[in-house]
Amino acid sequence: MKKQELFDAVLGYLGSTMDATETELHFSNPFELVIAVVLSAQCTDKRINMVTPRLFQDFPSPEAMAETTPEVIYEYIKSVSYPNNKAKHLVGLAKVLVRDFGGEVPSTLEELTQLPGVGRKTANVVQAVAFGKAALAVDTHVFRVSHRLGLVPSTCKTPYSVEMALRKYIPEHLVASSHYWLLLHGRYTCVARKPKCEKCGLATLCKTFKKGEMLK
């Protein structure tokens, strides 16, 4: 099977079995989204959705969050991973939004990555979900699934190289959705340990499964 045919088959299956939602994080505007995505690093979306309602209620805007301190924010997010660092990032990015962007979340990769705590992956999520751009975030799930299925060569050792390899074969209008589909497939089916190959509709296409190399 040619590479493009593999991509078409994988995306066709995932697109037919998943809805059009682009994130499991709860948010109502770009500011809330960037906050939620920063918090979600090495933490579950379920946990983030438990702590953000009160945080968003008490700090509904960059201006409000910029006026508080990391110590105050810590009390809202202390149940997430790395709360001290994330509290500093949230107050810091709020201050930058107010100072440099008029209190509005920017929509470009270059501008988003100027915000404390926002790297390429987070910026791509915000671009895709908040602004409808063709941006593809590569997290640990997307990275793992892409390699296992054989969508990217084994020489792709970094998230950036995986992103570039995937972009070669994914149509522009499916780029943002593809991130979410691959992420969910990795989160619930092609999990890191004991992947659920017997329930996977992609097993017959999967390079790793066909080689009998899947983890037990």
Residues classed as catalytic: 121, 139
Tokens 């590479």 locate to: 3
Q: How far is CA 150 from the centre of its chain?
A: 21
Provide the Cα torsion 95, 49, 142, 158; round to 10°: 30
Q: Look-up: residue for tokens 């799930």? A: 141
Angle at 30 between CA 29 and CA 36, to 5 degrees: 95
- Angle, CA of 130, 134 and 135, to the nearest 5°: 75
Sequence-separated (6 or more) residues with CB below 8 Å from residue 10: 149, 151, 202, 205
